[in-house]
Amino acid sequence: MKQMNFLRNALLSLAVLVTVGCSTVPITGRRQVSLVSDQEVMQMSLQAYREMMSQSKLSNNAQQTAMVKRVGQRIQQAVETYMRQQGASDQLAGYQWEFNLIDDPKQQNAFAMAGGKTAVYTGLLPITQDETGLAVVMGHEIAHVIAKHVNERISQQMLAEAGGGVIGAATGQGGATSQVVNVAYGIGAGVGMMKFGRTQESEADRLGLIFMAMAGYNPEAALTFWKRMDAASGWQSQPEILSTHPSNQTRIADIQKHLPEAKKYYSGR
């Protein structure tokens, strides 16, 4: 009887958390579970970012590094403009934007963390090919941050751990913080973007197209980029039903649907 009461109370507590702890994704309007504050996520992300960067080698290619910073800054300005237009600039409070190029030719990857810390691996540049291709990736990664997908993933982990075990561990010392954040971001995913869920990936594609368009990059470049990514994935691709990502083919089809919306924000430069 006591066990049943405990279980009932635990389920009720989780239900209250889910009901109260919700937020809305900009642009898409999707409701998402949010049981952890932006401040907590930014604090954990910053610590994990510092640990990661201390173990990484920055590229000494001045031209490529300048390109990453230039693209990042243009998308940053687009995001800040969009959020200001929506009266949501407060959601960017505490952001300390930073854009780096990590020298690792084997990593075809990029990431952005809460607070605006963003990095691209040199192994991805042969696939992005040019500045516009790079804007596709950086727009997508930054969109994950603006949509608070990491907050959502950590919240999902908290629910899976019966409410609070994950975030509690992250407040400790040692590698707990980086472990929680790395799981939330999916760092170490190898080829392709970070491993968010399919809904989150598709959402980041849509928002990323808008942000890159506002930054003056032609969003149609996303189609050719993902075709190149599909070719680069090769044998490592797996059936969509077995993956947290939409397949590249599904992603391309979705991007085609979202292009008319994104083009409304594109004026060229």
Angstrom distance (rounded) from CA 149 to CA 191 = 20
CB 96 within 8 A of CB 115: yes
- Residue 170 tokens, joined: 């992250």
Q: Report helix, strand or coil for 110.
A: strand
**Which residue among the candidates 40, 80, 141, 161 is catalytic per the annotation?**
141
Tell me the CB-side half-sphere exposure of residue 125, using CA atoms within 13 A.
18
CA 207, chain centre distance (Å): 11
Q: Are 64 and 125 in contact (CB under 8 A)?
A: yes
Q: Is 141 a catalytic residue?
A: yes
**What whole-number distance in Å separates Cα of residue 126 and Cα of residue 130?**
8
CA dihedral (13, 16, 18, 24) in degrees, to 10, reads -160
User: Do residues 220 and 262 touch, judged by C-beta distance below 8 A?
Assistant: no
Structure tokens at 186: 């999916």
Chain centroid, CA 54 distance in Å: 21
Tell me whether residue 238 is exposed, middle or buried, using C-beta atoms within 10 angstroms of its C-beta: 0 to 12, 13 to 18, 19 or more.
Answer: exposed
Active-site positions?
141
